[in-house]
Amino acid sequence: MNYTFDWNKVLSGEYLDWIISGVGVTLQISAVSLFIALLLGTTIAVMRMTKIKPLIWFSASFTEFFRNTPLLVQIFFWYFGADSLLPRFALDWLYEQDFEFCAGVIALSVYTAAFIAEEIRAGVNSIPKNQLEASRACGLTFIQAMRYVILPQAFRIIVPPMISQALNLVKNSSLCMTIGVAELTYMARQIESYTFRGFEAFTISTLIYLCISLIVSFSINFYNKRFLRAVSY
């Protein structure tokens, strides 16, 4: 009950540099993972909607496996199992970069891609099927019809759930501290270890996560209202 708050100790000197560095790593790993997850999720969703059985089975297995296993387990799976799963040239490249960071990106990307794939599939299913049939009748292939006609409409529909997935990814990036990725939560834990100011350190990190989430949500909503709706009209 005699605890005295000391915010200046956490927000000054090298500890402030640690927080800034952690924010940078958090934004970097979140942005890279979200970009990969969007590409992979879109691919998985399209594969799920083809009439090719092996692709349907693979995409269905992918989404069910990664959606129904804990993210923390997946992070450990990629971190400790990469040597057994990836070819040697890929491992050499990962170690030349930042293995912990890359393992975190892989785990976050495939986990988020499984959820994004289902969001995209739901958006595509909400579009009248005769649009795909009309596109095919006009001479477009299945891939061309999805790319130019169906997916642009689906992405406008699924903006709200995509915001949720982006925010979840930013928050889930904190789990990468368990494999040594020096993101915001990792840095807050380091500050707590050096200063014994855990309340101050984690309060600051919590507020930073809140600000990042609000900025992401506002930016995507603004883009949706000002651009996507204008295009649809």
Cα(26)–Cα(186) distance, integer angstroms: 10
Query: 3-class SS at 31?
Result: helix
Superfamily for the 7-232 domain: MetI-like (1.10.3720.10)
Instruction: Name the residue among 113, 51, 56, 102 with its Cα closest to residue 79.
Output: 102
Q: What is the pLDDT of residue 9?
A: 84
Q: Which residues of the chain have pLDDT under 70?
A: 1-2, 227-233
pLDDT tens digit string along 85-138? 778 788 778 888 889 999 999 999 999 999 999 999 999 988 888 888 888 888
Residue-range domain boundaries for the chain: 7-232
197 near 177, Cβ under 8 Å? Answer: no
As to burial, measured by CB atoms within 10 angstroms (0-12 exposed, 13-18 middle, 19+ buried), residue 84 is exposed
Give Cα separations from 132 to 79, 129, 157, 162 (angstroms): 41, 6, 17, 23
Is the pTM higher than 0.85? The answer reads yes
